[in-house]
Amino acid sequence: MQFIIDFFNFKRYEQNYTQDQLTNGLCYQTFLSKIENGESYPDKLLVDTILSRLDVEDDYFEHYLSREEADID
């Protein structure tokens, strides 16, 4: 999940979006701040919507799994 969060942050800065602009109508800006700081985690719908606003294809992370999700030791 951290990779996706870092990607949000990178794309947001790359496209000169503020947190307010990116979250307009989706969630509170403070929630995105908590996500970017690793204090909270978004659900899949919010991830997909944010990726869409950042002009990223919805299947870009379709095959990404963390070690925990894949249960790899």
DSSP state for residue 18 in the 8-state scheme: -
Which domain CATH number covers 61? 1.10.260.40
Residue 11 structure tokens: 């794309």
Instruction: Write the pLDDT tens digit of every residue in 29-65.
Output: 999 999 988 899 888 889 889 989 999 886 776 655 5
The residue among 42, 16, 21, 20 whose CA lies nearest residue 30 is 20
Total domains in the chain come to 1
pTM of the predicted protein model: 0.71
CA distance 72 to 5: 21
Domain of residue 50 covers 2-70
